[in-house]
Structure 1
């Protein structure tokens, strides 16, 4: 028997579970509510795991909780293991003709896509006993969540593509600058983005797509800021109130535009286009059943 076999046999696997919960909670203190253990017991378990592996997994201090490089690697290994354990009850009760389980999808907020809607409906028709768990998240976090196996499928813009992940183009999302009916520019049309450089803008912060940010910087848009919100719904709310201009996905703003509550200030051919992708992490031999669900969902997009 090799030393690797000895390690797997002798390791207290509960330590991996506790470490996974620490990572999910974002720190030792926050993990107490998730696993109902005292902070001292959680800290001791973390120390035991670090001692068994022989490396520091995280740093704690005034700057907060942060995983080391080794901690990040272990967290990425633990996530699919915990997912596999959670599937045991449904696997045990599953008949040969029925597929149970869940498929988690993380996507950018307020994304409008007929192709995605059809795929979800078709998948549910084919697999009525599979639970779809859908969550919205910042576009910058989607690929990382897929990488860590926190979600099965991601839907988000992605200018930089990781070689470990698979990207399937879904659609282009056109972003146009809008103003509300109470704004003095409502009803105006501009052919040059530079004409809007002196206007105040509502920005979406870190969730702004790279292509849109590059477009703004090219024309000096958003140097004057009236509001910032990470949530598209709130950015839209501010635009409707007339406190500034706001870049919004055309598909998301179309209903307000039709009802003359929002007005697009630039023509479509001048607006930046953002590619949106379906992202997944293929080839998990230990999770073959989940692989099948993921592949079946992606097939529904065809």
Structure 2
């Protein structure tokens, strides 16, 4: 009985189909390039493997048994399925497949979103059928999700302290210190650096306290991880704090915010593309990384 299908079985089944389509052993010799006795031997092997006769051959001519008819139909379906598989496998060889989960930092500038869209456009022009999910979160949350395998890639202003993650620079964002219209320094000109010392600053837990940061609050009764929260505190007139330039610009234009010592207290944050160092990226992930780096070059 045929419990497993081997390469030899497929060869014997192909011979069987050729014999049937040729109309018998003798007629199949030219098509198969072997003698009638060899064909007969091969057919006997196939019948032994199956456990029943496939055809009658003799003076009365060649004809299939009822089981032979069923095996012929099943064999044709098998070969059609094999050809379908070969076609699909060949298509998959050059096609990007799977899912990608990408994290984004909050409040990205319009030009950054434009470049991100350009990168996705580049990726979609590849031979691909990939489901992409974009998720916005705080930088610490993005790093946590990368470490837990919930994200493949993330774009944010990371500390770079996670040794398990690999970081590559994408762009830089300008940060500036601001006060709101109701703040005592709003209408004062010029403002001296010493006047900022007693000011109540907005604490952003993830903003990096580094030597390059021009001003650090000595007093803080306001805390927010989100840019929107920082903006609300500053607009209150009770606090000063750092904001991305593109977030503050429309409020400055309306006379609601003022940059404090812009030539001295502004600084830049490096936004980077992060991924897990130890996890082997899929072909789709590598392709999207290439397109992101190209779009932000």
**Bin of the TM-score, shorter chain as denominator length:** 0.5 to 0.7
Distance of aligned partners of 1:194 and 1:104 in 2 relative to their CA distance in 1, 3 Å threshold = farther
Q: How far does residue 182 in structure 1 lie from its aligned partner after superposition?
A: 2.2
Distance in structure 1 (CA, Å) of the matches to 2:211 and 2:186: 22
Distance of aligned partners of 1:265 and 1:210 in 2 relative to their CA distance in 1, 3 Å threshold = same
Distance of aligned partners of 1:283 and 1:294 in 2 relative to their CA distance in 1, 3 Å threshold = farther
Answering whether residue 139 of structure 2 is matched by residue 139 of structure 1, we say: yes
Answering whether residue 267 of structure 2 is matched by residue 272 of structure 1, we say: yes
> Pairwise mapping of residues 59-208 of structure 1 onto structure 2 (< 5 A)?
96=92, 99=96, 101-112=98-109, 114-124=111-121, 126-127=123-124, 130-162=130-162, 164-189=164-189, 192-204=192-204, 206-208=205-207
Distance of aligned partners of 1:243 and 1:167 in 2 relative to their CA distance in 1, 3 Å threshold = same
Distance in structure 1 (CA, Å) of the matches to 2:193 and 2:103: 33
Gaps of 5+ in 1: 1-91
Distance in structure 2 (CA, Å) of the matches to 1:262 and 1:286: 44
Q: How far does residue 125 in structure 1 lie from its aligned partner after superposition?
A: 5.5
1:238 — aligned with what?
233
Higher helix share: 1
Q: 2:160–2:167: 8 Å Cα contact kept in structure 1?
A: no
Q: 1:123–1:300: 8 Å Cα contact kept in structure 2?
A: no
Number of residue pairs matched by the alignment: 206
Distance of aligned partners of 1:285 and 1:210 in 2 relative to their CA distance in 1, 3 Å threshold = same
2:209 — aligned with what?
210
Cα displacement string for residues 186-206 of structure 1 (whole angstroms, at most 9, x for unaligned residues):
2334564332011122222x2
Q: 2:180–2:236: 8 Å Cα contact kept in structure 1?
A: yes
Q: 1:103–1:294: 8 Å Cα contact kept in structure 2?
A: no
Cα displacement string for residues 30-62 of structure 1 (whole angstroms, at most 9, x for unaligned residues):
xxxxxxxxxxxxxxxxxxxxxxxxxxxxxxxxx
Q: 1:176–1:268: 8 Å Cα contact kept in structure 2?
A: no
Distance of aligned partners of 1:212 and 1:277 in 2 relative to their CA distance in 1, 3 Å threshold = farther
Distance in structure 2 (CA, Å) of the matches to 1:157 and 1:212: 17
Answering whether residue 282 of structure 2 is matched by residue 287 of structure 1, we say: yes
Q: How far does residue 110 in structure 1 lie from its aligned partner after superposition?
A: 0.9
SS at match of 1:210: coil
Distance of aligned partners of 1:261 and 1:100 in 2 relative to their CA distance in 1, 3 Å threshold = farther
Distance in structure 1 (CA, Å) of the matches to 2:202 and 2:193: 16
Q: 1:108–1:139: 8 Å Cα contact kept in structure 2?
A: yes
Distance in structure 1 (CA, Å) of the matches to 2:279 and 2:107: 30
TM-score, structure 2 length as denominator? 0.57
For structure 1, which segment, 148-157 or 284-293, has the greater mean C-alpha deviation from structure 2 after superposition?
Answer: 284-293
SS at match of 1:106: strand
Greater Cα radius of gyration, structure 1 or 2: 2
Q: 1:152–1:294: 8 Å Cα contact kept in structure 2?
A: no
Q: How far does residue 239 in structure 1 lie from its aligned partner after superposition?
A: 1.5
Distance in structure 1 (CA, Å) of the matches to 2:279 and 2:294: 18
Q: How far does residue 176 in structure 1 lie from its aligned partner after superposition?
A: 1.7
